[in-house]
Amino acid sequence: MSGTSSALRPPADAVAPVRHPDAPAPGELLGAHYDRCFGCGGGQPHGLHLEARAGDGVRITAEFTVQGAHQGAPGLAHGGVLASALDETLGSLNWLLRTIAVTGRLETDFVRPVPVGTVLHLEAEVTAVAGRKIYSSATGRIGGPEGPVAVRADALFIEVKVDHFVDNGRPEDIRAAMDDPDQVRRARAFEVNP
């Protein structure tokens, strides 16, 4: 984006992102990283229930349907919910890098209204990596994957260790995630932004 703040512009020594060899194959559904996640978890009745799929390189696509519980102005999606959908989509990119990272900065542009009942088609990509910093961008379109842009965002994610969640998360939720017998779900619970 031309209006991107300097905090979201990769430094001169940033490198191109590299997809991890164990990343999900293009087209594969990523699934919820944590059942209680507002963005992708099935255990949140009013959550976004966003579904993301791995794309080529370090790209993903995702969809989310705006429900009545997501509205701000009558009949229109709340801007904060749209920002959450972008954040969730951008955070899911870290699964392709096999990196645990949290949102450091998110700049969102709201281009056109998104009515309740609309399927928002999201696409995101990692654009650069500099040390622990991961730079990415996303767009959300209405009317189909090639439809008009309704929202877009640039983001900076910061790589962290699992201790970030253990030290700062609510203890009963951390225990529930750590006690999950499914090793993949247990690991994935800590792989996307909180």
Residue of 43, 58, 45 whose CA lies nearest to 92: 58
Residues pairing with 133 in the sheet = 130, 158
The C-alpha atoms of residue 10 and residue 22 are separated, in whole angstroms, by: 26
**Quick check: 66 and 114 in contact, CB under 8 A?**
yes
What pTM did the predictor assign? 0.85
- Tell how far CA 61 is from the center of its chain: 10
**Three-state DSSP class for residue 122:** strand
Residue of 48, 34, 10 whose CA lies nearest to 140: 48
CA dihedral 176, 194, 141, 79 (to 10 degrees): 110
CA quadruple 39, 124, 99, 101: dihedral positive or negative?
negative
The tens place of each residue's pLDDT in the chain, 194 residues long, gives 446 788 889 999 999 999 999 899 999 998 887 777 888 888 888 899 999 999 999 999 999 999 999 999 999 999 999 999 999 999 999 989 988 899 999 999 999 999 999 999 999 999 999 999 999 999 999 999 999 999 999 999 999 866 555 555 666 666 666 666 665 555 555 555 44
The C-alpha atoms of residue 51 and residue 65 are separated, in whole angstroms, by: 10
β-pairing verdict for 149-159 and 133-141: antiparallel
**Quick check: 160 and 185 in contact, CB under 8 A?**
no
Which positions ≥6 away from 95 have C-beta within 8 Å?
A: 23, 24, 30, 33, 54, 188, 191, 192
Instruction: Give the pLDDT confidence score for residue 194 in this predicted structure.
Output: 42
